[in-house]
A = this chain, B = another copy of it.
Amino acid sequence: MENFTYNTPTLVRFGRDAESETGDLVLQQHCKKVLIHYGGNSAVRSGLLAKVEASLTEKGIEHLSLGGVVPNPRLSKVQEGIDLCRKEGVDFILAVGGGSVIDSAKAIALGVPYAGNVWDFYSGQETAKACLPVGAVLTIAAAGSEMSNSSVITKEEGDLKRGYRTELCRCRFAVMNPQLTCTLPDYQTQSGCVDILMHTMERFFGGVPTMALTDGIAVALLQTVMKCAKILKQEPDNYEARAEVMWAGSLSHNGLTGCGSDGGDWSSHQLEHELGGMFDVAHGAGLAAVWGSWARYVLPSDPQRFAAFATQVFGIAPSGTPTETALAGIEAMEAFYRSVDMPTSIKELGVEVSEEQIQILADKCSFQGSRTIGTFRPLNRDDMAAIYRMAKGD
């Protein structure tokens, strides 16, 4: 195992009607003016936005709003938020929404105190030294951004989707009411479940020996999410299942399932980021579409680890070579994806990707051949292209 740092400062209020406590939580931050950042009309239609605004007003907290965040949130909206915060003297950002909204809020928070262009952080040219405080009222269980140290932004010019990690941007608090997720369409619910699974699987396949406790927690989380995803397929308003998935979403990406394993692999995420940048697909669905191909491609580097995954997560009895057990585990995972109508190829994602586009995806994902991705097996541009080709699905 590796040394590790564990940092989860986010105060969580979890449960029914938790959003009514938002005003109290913001008040404890001793800020002067709050930007409420949100996405589309659902926050307005559902009455959530009005409820949150009322909660702040009741506590005498000055606030203004900025909506319009889209999935795969855009740099232009982030810049609009930065300009607004500076003009209005905002000193706290409250995200009301899912991962896209929280990521956009984090990017604004990083941009306000920075003299240059906030994209400098996402392009890897600069390291953030300051960040406005951020809080979240979560409406989608998926990205785990409410407790994570990361955010992902898409720059329209060049369709570049990039992530940035810093401890500075961890939310001060997260309000999580599973009831708010009960009306999500099934595709979005299942896509969220895949994202949650993948945040733990990226860490499980970090490529270094980890801790038995970390593996045990990871297995419990994966099994719980798969079980509940199937329940939600039949009963979308099952509160208990929504709650399990929502809490799993936070624990899957706050660092807990990576303790001792030094960070994780993240190749599937990087490969999906390029797909998301080019085709604007749902993030979780994109992950499901590439994971099996990634897994089969890298499996020879450590069949035992994949065999352990098969045995521990799916209870598959070891038989034959470790590779055979490993392949049975990959197939079991893909069978789960299919059982909840998630894709296992790019074609099933609704995208026909050409060989020319595969080259562009690999070029972008490898920063024009200047970087590798992943730790289980480091992947160069050719590897990336090969995996996209395997995942193409025709």
* A247 interface residue per 8 A CB criterion: yes
Q: Report the stretch among A6-14, A68-76, A374-382 that lies at the interface.
A: A6-14
Q: What is the chain B residue whose CB lies nearest that of A16?
A: B3
* A217 interface residue per 8 A CB criterion: yes
What residues of chain B lie closer than 8 Å to A260, measured between beta carbons? 14, 243, 247
Q: Report the stretch among A39-47, A221-229, A268-276, A331-339 that lies at the interface.
A: A221-229
Asked if B1 and A243 sit within 8 Å, CB to CB, the answer is: yes
Which of B4, B7, B16, B18 is in CB contact (< 8 Å) with A15?
A: B4
Q: How far is the CA of A22 from the CA of B3 in the complex (A)?
A: 15
Q: Report the stretch among A116-124, A152-160, A208-216, A321-329 that lies at the interface.
A: A208-216
Asked if A5 and B13 sit within 8 Å, CB to CB, the answer is: yes
* A138 interface residue per 8 A CB criterion: no
* A244 interface residue per 8 A CB criterion: yes
Chain A positions 242-269 with a Cβ under 8 Å from a chain B Cβ: 243-244, 247-248, 251, 256, 259-260
* A240 interface residue per 8 A CB criterion: yes
What residues of chain B lie closer than 8 Å to A3, measured between beta carbons? 13-16, 18
Residue-by-residue, is A30-69 near B (CB-CB < 8 Å gives 1, otherwise 0)?
0000000000000000000000000000000000000000
Q: Given A213-B244, A247-B211, A5 and B12 touching (CB < 8 A)?
A: yes
Asked if A259 and B217 sit within 8 Å, CB to CB, the answer is: no
Q: How far is the CA of A244 from the CA of B228 in the complex (A)?
A: 29
Which residue numbers of A lie inside 8 Å of B, CB to CB? 1-9, 11-16, 18, 211-213, 216-217, 219-221, 223-224, 227-228, 240, 243-244, 247-248, 251, 256, 259-260
